[in-house]
Amino acid sequence: MARLNVNPTRMELARLKKLLATATRGHKLLKDKLDELMKQFLDIVRENKRLREEAEKALDEAYKSFIIARAVMNEEYMGEALMMPGNSVEVSVSEKNIMSVHVPKFKFNTNENEKADVCPYGYAFTSAELDNAVASFSAAMEPLLRLAESEKSAQLLAQEIEKTRRRVNALENVMIPNYEETIKYIRMKLEENERAGTTRMMKVKDMIAAKAIEERKKQDKLQFEKTEKEIS
């Protein structure tokens, strides 16, 4: 906490009071924003954990099926079977606003060929295990995409939380205490100046009163001497 280097005047006092009111109001708004960001972040983290478990389970099943398919199929036939996909996948990205933070929103679109199956090959030289592997990998796409969306949202919210926390701490621990300390200093100086001014005024009044008394005495003396001359 440090006092600002300002002139201790009433105008400066009024200006600092306005700055203090603005800083206090801003601190409350940022604190409320930080609390809401933390709530949203924790919700996303919980959702992220669920999506990760779902994606890992889907990928685990897909890899197991693929390993079995490699074990029972000729590698050359498998390569040829998977060379030309029957469907194409598109991912469209939009944004949604969470407490002024723009987080991504992914949409998963599969452009299916009317004549194509999920499995882009004939069944003469392939196995059921390969069919299961392809279907499992296809099913894993959506949870993986939702997991990527959730993790990116959590990352952006974490950055905003850190930025907002720094602003709250700066207001709470630096700016507001500095304003309060400076306002206290200016008030003290103004009170000192007011007391000094009052003391000077009292001294001036005493001097004027003493001079008036002295003048009155002189006039009384002159009047007395004049009266004595008239009598004699």
Single-letter code of the amino acid located at 217: K
Position 115 scores a pLDDT of 43
What top-level class would CATH report for the domain 23-180?
A: mainly alpha
Domain ranges of the chain: 23-180
Single pTM value for the model: 0.68
Low-confidence stretches of the chain (pLDDT beneath 50): 114-116
Position 78 scores a pLDDT of 67
Burial 95-132, CB ≥16 within 10 A → b, else e: eeebbebebeebeeeeeeeeeeeebebeeeebbebbbb
How many alpha carbons fall within 13 Å on the CB side of residue 157?
Answer: 25
> For residues 99 and 32, is the Cβ–Cβ distance under 8 A?
no
Segment 99-125, tens digit of pLDDT: 888 888 888 776 655 444 555 555 555
CA distances from 217 to 144, 213, 225, 227 (A): 107, 6, 12, 15
E strands of the chain, at which residues? Answer: 87-98, 101-112
